[in-house]
Amino acid sequence: MRRLLPAPVLQFINTVAFGRRSAPKVFDFRGPRRVGKLFGVERVRLSRAPRRRGASTLSVRHRICELKYLIVIFSIIIAVCQVSCGRRAENAPHSGKLQVVSSLFPLYDFAKNVGGDRADVSLLLPPGVEPHSFEPRPEDIIKLGKADIFIYTNNYMEPWINDILKGINNPGLVIVNSSKDIELLKEEDEEEAQEHGGRDPHVWLDLTNAAKMVDAICDGFVKKDPVHKEFYRQNAESYKAKLLALDKKFSESLAGCKKKIFMSGGHYSFGYLAKRYNLRYLPAYYGFSPDAEPNPKDLIKLSKELTRNGLHYIFYEELVNPGVARTIAGETGAKLLLLHGAHNISRDELDRNITFLSIMEHNLENLKEGLECR
């Protein structure tokens, strides 16, 4: 019978599993023995248990027995792996790094810049998911139950915030409302204002607001880990300097543009950006549901508005089918440009390590083109 395992391995298993060095007869390791000559060459065969009655049955038993050994050894390996993997998972929150969870992409990027190598930052929104219709899942609640810091935008962006916090049993969790020091703008549309409580949640699209959000996030880190206060403060200052330098670049670049008005085929999200840089902004619709679409009458009205303002470009938003912008572009001959709201990023963008700053740099380039800047 051909063995499934080499003899030394079987001997080791015998010793470990059955506590004896001598192998049972079915695994006799007495070494090779001569069995005669063939064409003048000595033939040898590995020793095996003496052949006896029912040997054919015994061969089957040998195989079954070896399979049992295999099962024993694999069970041991799996058990060891499970224990060690389990320990790793248990240890993750105690790896020495702060476990930080953020709701939207900008907060995720801000927290990574503030926390540096002292924090493991994760994003609650899965890549590519539209944020306004996002509802936290049971696994998100479990995740927050183990976190040190949770960062959200504001109650208008995450209207589920109070419900989810009620369901979390984590007294040590530091909760950061990153818009706490920002005056939220009223929604432009009266009807929508009444329906949603009347505030525009897209604060991060004004880069000076983004800097205030970094401060709020930094406060959260300091509260949770005061020993490393200086580390977080320095990181925050360094990142805020980049945000404010880009804000300056926006102001300078957009000051001399031929157009001071732009149209987006998406939901109302660039109110803060428009206000900051003295621009007029025409969204395809007010409110914050990117699933909503203007009716044909609205599309005709928007197309006329685009033409009346002499605009040659229409912007479309990220993660949503640019059908509205494309229809208006088709009607008017305008060209399409992306204006990324940075709420969330796609899987592809995540793989490319895209950053909030790079998104805003790209937005500036497209705005310069769309507004026909000199």
Helix and strand element counts for the chain (H, E): 13, 10
* Half-sphere exposure for 99 (CA within 13 Å, toward CB): 18
- Residue with smaller CB distance to Zn ion, 105 or 239: 105
Site string for Zn ion, 274-313 (x = CB under 5 A): --------------x-------------------------
- Residue with smaller CB distance to Zn ion, 102 or 269: 269
Of 188-196, 207-215, 229-237, 264-272, the window that binds Zn ion (rule: CB under 5 A) is: 264-272
The answer for 335, left when phi > 0, alpha when psi is -120 to 50, beta otherwise, is beta
- For residue 341, the minimal CB distance to Zn ion (Å) is 6
- For residue 228, the minimal CB distance to Zn ion (Å) is 34
345 touches 231 (CB < 8 A):
no
Spatial distance between the Cα atoms of 249 and 361, rounded to a whole number of angstroms: 9
- For residue 337, the minimal CB distance to Zn ion (Å) is 18
Spatial distance between the Cα atoms of 270 and 283, rounded to a whole number of angstroms: 8
Q: Tokens 């079954």 map to which residue?
A: 64
Neighbours of 110 (CB within 10 A): 29
Residue 93 backbone dihedrals phi, psi, to 5 degrees: -70, -15
Neighbours of 92 (CB within 10 A): 12
- For residue 338, the minimal CB distance to Zn ion (Å) is 15
Site membership for Zn ion, residue 14 (CB under 5 A): no
Looking at the DSSP bridge assignments, the partners of residue 150 are 101, 175
- For residue 282, the minimal CB distance to Zn ion (Å) is 16
Neighbours of 237 (CB within 10 A): 14
Tell me which residue of 291, 274, 281 sits closest to 131, measured CA to CA: 291
- For residue 129, the minimal CB distance to Zn ion (Å) is 13
Of 36-44, 192-200, 227-235, 266-274, the window that binds Zn ion (rule: CB under 5 A) is: 266-274
Residue nearest Zn ion, CB atom distance: 269
One of 269, 327, 332, 344 touching Zn ion (CB under 5 A): 269
Of 192-200, 236-244, 265-273, 366-374, the window that binds Zn ion (rule: CB under 5 A) is: 265-273
Q: Tokens 């059955």 map to which residue?
A: 18
- Residues between 198 and 257 that touch Zn ion (CB under 5 A): none
- For residue 276, the minimal CB distance to Zn ion (Å) is 17
Looking at the DSSP bridge assignments, the partners of residue 37 are 42
> By CB under 5 A, how many residues form the interface with Zn ion?
2
- For residue 84, the minimal CB distance to Zn ion (Å) is 43
Query: Which residues make up the interface to Zn ion (CB under 5 A)?
Result: 269, 288
